[in-house]
């Protein structure tokens, strides 16, 4: 068995352009495109050179389209897998995606609300199209990606059968 293999093809960059701030607009060779804000990546990795707007504003397609780099330096760059992952985490989480997440996780409304620390009525508002906070979006994606994180915080509330009679 091979571990750590992702069956998706590695995305290849066709063109890249800097936007305002630390935003890149990436055109993939397969025709798709993303917008990705790299301010968190630059700050986390403390990449001082890229904090200079004159440097960041001149991104280049790396060798074979497998990265974006600056100043012709592969060490001053980011690979396309990470670009795609960061961009996917920055996308909005729609009500439809929230419902699909709940279905994949096999959670009742009460369980989903409890897991995320919100009232069931608030959960209902999210599902009806209300604004889904960034923290909820991050938590949903993290719970799905990491079973241990989910198991550490999940509290089942569903019971089969009828509720017990009151005394």
pLDDT by 10s per residue, the chain, length 167: 445 566 678 899 999 999 999 999 999 999 999 999 999 999 999 999 999 999 999 999 999 999 999 998 888 999 999 999 999 989 888 999 999 999 999 999 999 999 999 999 999 999 999 999 999 999 999 999 999 999 999 988 865 545 566 66
| Assigned CATH topology for domain 13-90 | NE0471 N-terminal domain-like (3.30.2020)
Please tell me the predicted confidence (pLDDT) of residue 109: 95
Please tell me the predicted confidence (pLDDT) of residue 87: 94
Q: Provide the residue ranges of all domains of the chain, joining segments of one domain with +.
A: 13-90, 95-153
What is each CA distance from 5 to 1, 69, 84, in whole angstroms? 10, 25, 16
CATH 2.40.128 fits 95-153, yes or no: no
Is the CB of residue 64 less than 8 Å from the CB of residue 92? no
What count of Cα atoms within 13 Å lies in the side-chain half-sphere of residue 78? 23
Please tell me the predicted confidence (pLDDT) of residue 164: 63
Contacts (Cβ under 8 Å, ≥6 apart) of 30: 11, 12
Please tell me the predicted confidence (pLDDT) of residue 93: 86
């Amino acid at each position: 068995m091979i571990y750590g293999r992702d069956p998706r093809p590695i995305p290849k960059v066709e063109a890249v352009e800097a936007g305002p701030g630390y935003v890149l607009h990436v055109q993939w060779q397969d025709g798709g495109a993303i917008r990705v804000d790299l301010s968190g990546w630059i700050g986390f990795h403390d990449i001082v050179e890229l904090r200079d707007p004159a440097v960041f504003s001149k991104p280049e397609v790396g060798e074979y389209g497998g990265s974006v780099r600056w100043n012709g330096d592969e060490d001053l760059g980011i690979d396309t897998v990470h670009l795609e992952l960061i961009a996917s985490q920055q996308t909005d989480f729609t009500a439809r995606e929230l419902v699909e997440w709940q279905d994949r996780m096999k959670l009742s409304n009460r369980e989903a609300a409890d897991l995320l620390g919100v009232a069931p009525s608030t959960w209902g508002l999210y599902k009806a199209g209300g604004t889904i906070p960034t923290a909820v979006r991050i938590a949903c994606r993290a719970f799905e990606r990491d079973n241990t994180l989910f198991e550490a915080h999940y509290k089942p509330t569903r019971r089969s059968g009828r509720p017990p009679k009151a005394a």
